[in-house]
Amino acid sequence: MSNHHDNLSSDNLENDDAFLERELGLAARGIELVKLEGRVFLRFSGEVQYEGLRVPYRLVPARGVLAKPSKWRKMDLLARRELVEERTDQKDLQRLHLEAEEFVRDIAEDADQFGWDPMLFLDVLDELETSEPAEYVFQRISQRLTHAVEREEEERHAART
């Protein structure tokens, strides 16, 4: 007779992760435990309100990537629980929210200078399915805005000549 724990199947691992999510109340705190793109990571959800804008987000915090799936599978439930608890404390949630607020403010102000709807750039914060930490997502969106500004300036210059 084989011991149930000697033969950890992916179903058991999924059950352990679902148990962890329930036990730690992650969903109620706007936190998801996700496996995607060869990573196991945490994604925090929230909303920034700025000058009438309501910008929902689902972002991976700086310390949100937990492990590669192979390493995650080798960790026992207690080790996984400790790691998730360590990375989901209130300071981590607040830090990401402050970073998101600052980013939304900057993008909204820059977009406003050109009369653009900032949500053209910001709506992706709630739609992205990526394991990249928020800082990289912010960089990509900032680059999109910078390129749009450059194109607008080129078009204005071309119209004058």
* pLDDT one-digit tens code per residue, 25-80: 999 999 999 999 999 999 999 999 999 999 999 999 999 999 999 999 999 999 99
Check whether 15 has a pLDDT greater than 80.
no
- Place 152 in a pLDDT band, splitting at 50, 70 and 90: confident
Q: How many domains are there within the chain?
A: 1
Coil, helix or strand for 28?
Answer: helix
Looking at this protein, which amino acid is placed at residue 45? S
Average model confidence (pLDDT) across the chain: 90
Its sign, for the CA torsion 67, 73, 75, 80, is positive
Q: Residue 22 CA to chain centroid, in angstroms?
A: 20
In the predicted structure, residue 4 carries a pLDDT above the cut 70: no
Which residue segment(s) compose the domain that 12 sits in?
4-160
How is residue 55 annotated by DSSP?
E
Q: What percentage of the chain reaches a pLDDT higher than 70?
A: 91
- Reported as a pLDDT band with limits 50, 70 and 90, residue 8 is very low
Using the predicted structure, report yes or no on whether residue 140 has a pLDDT greater than 60: yes
DSSP H or E segment with residue 33:
strand 31-36
| Residue 133, CB-side half-sphere exposure with 13 Å CA sphere | 11
Q: Are 27 and 44 in contact (CB under 8 A)?
A: no
pLDDT of 2: 37
Q: Which distant-in-sequence residues (6+ apart) come within 8 Å of 124 by Cβ?
A: 137, 141
Torsion sign across C-alpha atoms 95, 99, 105, 108: negative
pTM: 0.83
